Structure 1
Amino acid sequence: MSERSVLLALNLDGAGNDPKHTAYQALRAESAGFNAVSFSSDGLLDAVQRASYVAAQTRRIGLLPVIDVLFTEPFHTATQLASLDIISRGRAGWILETHNDSVQAQAVGRTVLADDELSIEAAEVVTTHRRLWDSWEDDAVVRDAATGRYLDANKLHYVDVEGRNFSVKGPAITPRPPQGQLPIIAPSHLFSESGLQHCRLNGADVIAINTASLQTLLAQATASSTSGAVAIELDIYLDTAGQTGAQRAADIGIQSSERAVFAGSTKALINFLAEFAEATANPADQRRHLVHLYPGDLEIDGAVLIDEVLPQLKYGNLLAPNSTTLRENFALPVAQNRFQEAS
């Protein structure tokens, strides 16, 4: 396989709040060869619930719920994500976001954080998740009927995280996820020397880059790819038989967004993806990079992507194949348990 191949994720928020329709769209994406689908909360179901429903209907595609890092309970989200990984047999990841607004903060008795505190809070939450996922060794569950033992207590490890705004004690209440550590994707503005890091044990695996300019996006992704896996996000409006992507985008009236907007032909999109793959290729580091697509209209743009774009990406060896787990898709190293490494 070419080292200049990319991962593609399709956002399914356009499927609405019908879980069956969301699962149908995920199955179409899986059959077409997408590497992952993503979900936000839709008002009725949260992102993990949507992903869990889809997990039971699919077999190969990665599942990326978008979850806030600031005002959610780390112990509970670590449990939910581990359960999603178990349900999907190793296909779960986490897109980390920060909803630093007064409404959500007041709902949990917190205050809005200053900008310089966001990275530190994110680092503490990610560290908590990673330690909880490692708190069970892989073979902690023994299921010894003869002695009536379900667990080997010596293979469960105590976790005590004291953050600035929360504290968590473990071990977790679920076994270690099949991947050991779920891939975590975090926005670039959260990475700092004193806060969130791009590292194996306590940091995020993938840096998500957002900017309104396609060329700036490409330049920043190229620079960041020297230190590991990156993800870029695009709003997509593709040309159709009756209307150009630019016309469709104008008709919708795009609101200001951090994401770059791609409006154009399938050929132009394929050329951009090829340019991204070439610019971020690093023979010394085989980790793969992600392009996260947000279709302007899931029915229209999703169909064009499936029918026209992905077949040509496969033909050009630009689309990475799906492996057994999401970590393998990103070509991340095997996640060794920190407690076993220390023993």
Structure 2
Amino acid sequence: MSISPEPLGTRPPGHGAGLLIIELDGAGSHPAAWRATRTAPAAVLTPARLRDVVLAAESAGFHAATFSDAPRPEDAERPADAAAQLNSLQRAAFAGPITHSIALIPEVDTVYTEPFHVSTQLASLDYVTGGRAGWLVAASASTADAAAVGREPVGRDRLAQEAADSIEVSRRLWDSWEDGAVIRDVPTGRYLDVDKLHYADFAGGTYSVKGPSIIPRPLQGQLPVLAPAGLLAPEELAAGAADGLLVSAPTPELLAAELAETREALAAFGAGTAPALIAELDVVLASRGQSGAERLAALDAHTPWESPRARFVGAPTELIELLAGLLSPAAAGEKAAADGVRLHPAVLDTDLEELGRLVLPELRRRGILAPAQSDTTFREQLGLARPASRYAAAASPAASPAADAVNAGN
């Protein structure tokens, strides 16, 4: 990795408040959510439905929304309650022009998708959102995903390297156009400053990428990259591969301890960057006269919810206290357990309504949440400066062939 790391402790002083992220997949995170939603099953994947839930999340004050793209069981093994999905990048791109403050973060696989195309699609998303795009890294171990692209399945021992290589390729390609590379000089007919385009020149274990990218540098320079804790090797994290880690634990009670252990492990390894730690939490709230436990039992009667994440089941007031404990520093000068929390509502129609009506307003009243502001980039939400291109200092006329390659393809 060769991005410029941000030293520990250099985030702006005002960045003490936490972020709340919400997963907006289908009818909800519970596999039987479609049975309890107020939306007709046939309408769950429509543009109107996506618009409604994304605007509801933005109106509630969530800082970011993620769009899952996880592999599903093969058709022969698909249970009746398996969720239907559309491509995560397409959903995020659709939501970009109709939103103003919420960051949009699609989950994109790093194993069976071409890194050149992933990089350019994510850069395009950054333009569509006005700098509010992020990337939730996934590493698929699915045999169906491998067969779909004609590859042998990648062993679990290789997933971390595949993910790290894909991230590195994307970061190099985002930097391959320096800021100011597009000049649009009409009198001379020059669209590009050829000295500000560069080859990525990546050679990995399974592929190589020459570059440069086919579109200009993203608005944020580098999109924030989120990854599940444990996916990337410690040395990759130390070099700045990820800007945020999603941390899971078996129960809510163990989340704070898991977050502390993750932070300590990064410090012990000598990480030069401070990736944000984002706690993962499934949520089933009491609503409309039903307790959270009653709602969960009714859903589980159809298909039990099997999830690796901690699960909160209870009243909104209890969830407020749990989130306050995760996002508030324990004492003056100490870090909060988490920099953010990603919530996975069991049923979007029900739980998102309760979150926006009761939970977020109270957290905001207590000063626990960072403000949600229009036209703020996702990097700014994370307290990250916009980095310079790694190639800017090494710019030279020798880079001209890269520009010629781009112009030849236009």
Q: TM-score normalised to the size of structure 2? A: 0.78
Instruction: Write the letter of the residue equivalent to 2:196.
Output: K
Match in the other structure for 1:32: 60
Aligned twin of 2:255:
217
Residues 193, 222 of structure 1: alpha-carbon distance in 2 compared, 3 angstrom cutoff: closer
Relative to structure 1, is the Cα distance of residues 93 and 3 closer, same or farther in structure 2, using a 3 angstrom cutoff? closer
Please give the per-residue CA displacement for 1:183-221, whole angstroms capped at 9, x wherever unaligned: 111011212245x42543xx0111111222212222111
- Once the two structures are superposed, residues 38-86 of structure 1 have per-residue CA deviations (whole angstroms, 9 ceiling, x without a partner) of 1124756310110011001111110010111111010001010000001
Tell me the equivalent position of 1:266.
Answer: 316
Q: Matches of residues 231-310 of structure 1 in structure 2 within 5 Å?
A: 231-253=278-300, 254-278=304-328, 289-310=339-360
Structure-1 residue corresponding to 2:402: none
User: Matched residue of 1:95: which SS?
Assistant: strand
Cα shift at 1:246:
1.5
- Is 2:277 the partner of 1:230? yes
Following TM superposition, by how much is the alpha carbon of 1:144 offset from its aligned partner in structure 2, in angstroms? Answer: 0.7
Q: Kindly provide the CA deviation profile for residues 266-306 of structure 1, in whole angstroms up to 9, marking residues without a partner as x.
A: 111111111111358995989x8221111111010000000
8 Å Cα contact 1:183/1:204 also seen in 2: yes
In terms of Rg, which structure is larger?
A: 2
Q: What pairs with 1:5-24 in structure 2 (closer than 5 Å)? A: 5-15=17-27, 16-24=44-52
Find the residue that maps to 2:51 and give its secondary structure: helix
Q: Does 1:55 align with 2:96?
A: yes
Conserved in 2, the CA contact under 8 Å of 1:9 and 1:293?
yes
Distance in 1, Cα, partners of 2:88 & 2:332: 33
Deviations 1:289-326 (A, max 9, x none): 22111111101000000011111011001111135100
- Alpha-carbon distance in structure 2 between the residues aligned to 1:214 and 1:281: 21
CA–CA distance in 2 between the matches of 1:219 and 1:328? 28
Secondary structure in structure 2 of the residue aligned to 1:216: helix
The answer on whether the counterparts of 2:26 and 2:84 sit within 8 Å (CA) in structure 1 is no
Would you say the 8 A contact 1:295–1:302 is kept in 2?
A: yes
Residues 67/281 of structure 1: CA separation in 2 closer, same or farther (3 Å cut): farther
State the AA in 2 paired with 1:223: E
**Helix, strand or coil at the partner of 2:343:** strand
Given that 1:159 and 1:168 are in contact with CA atoms closer than 8 Å, whether structure 2 keeps it comes out as yes
- 1:4 touches 1:277 (CA, 8 Å); kept in 2? no
Q: Does the CA contact (< 8 Å) of 2:109 and 2:140 recur in 1?
A: yes
- Determine the C-alpha separation between the residues in 2 that align with 1:66 and 1:136: 25
Q: Does structure 1 conserve the Cα–Cα contact (< 8 Å) formed by 2:25 and 2:85?
A: no
- Please state whether the residue corresponding to 1:189 is helix, strand or coil: coil
What secondary structure, in the 3-state scheme, does the structure 1 residue paired with 2:358 have?
Answer: helix
Determine the structure 1 residue equivalent to 2:143: 102
Instruction: From 160, 177, 181, give the equivalent of 2:222.
Output: 181
- Secondary structure of the 2:391 match is helix
CA distance in 2, matches of 1:36, 1:135: 27
Q: Any stretches of 5+ residues in structure 1 without a counterpart?
A: none
Overall identity of the aligned pairs, in %: 41
1:64-103 correspondence to structure 2 within 5 Å: 64-103=105-144
| Residues 159-178 of structure 1 aligned to structure 2 (within 5 Å) | 159-178=200-219
User: Does the 8 Å contact 1:70/1:98 carry over to 2?
Assistant: yes
How many angstroms apart in 2 are the aligned matches of 1:235 and 1:299?
15
TM-aligned CA deviation for residue 115 of structure 1 = 2.5
* 1:167 to 1:281, Cα distance in 2 relative to 1, 3 A: farther
Secondary structure at the aligned position of 2:237 is classed as coil
AA of the residue aligned to 1:213: T
Q: For 1:234-263, what per-residue CA distance to the aligned partner results, in whole angstroms no more than 9, with x for missing partners?
A: 111011131111211121114221111111
Alignment-derived partner of residue 322 in structure 1? 372
Measure the CA separation in 2 of the matches of 1:97 and 1:107: 17
| TM-score, normalization by structure 1 | 0.92
Inter-CA distance 328–221: structure 2 relative to 1 (3 Å threshold): same
- 1:339 paired with 2:380, answer no
CA shift at 1:110, angstroms? Answer: 2.0
Shift in CA distance, 123/277, structure 1 to aligned 2, threshold 3 Å: same
Q: Distance in 2 between matches of 1:282 and 1:134?
A: 39
In structure 1, what is the equivalent of residue 32 of structure 2?
none
Contact 2:135 2:225 in 1 (8 A): yes
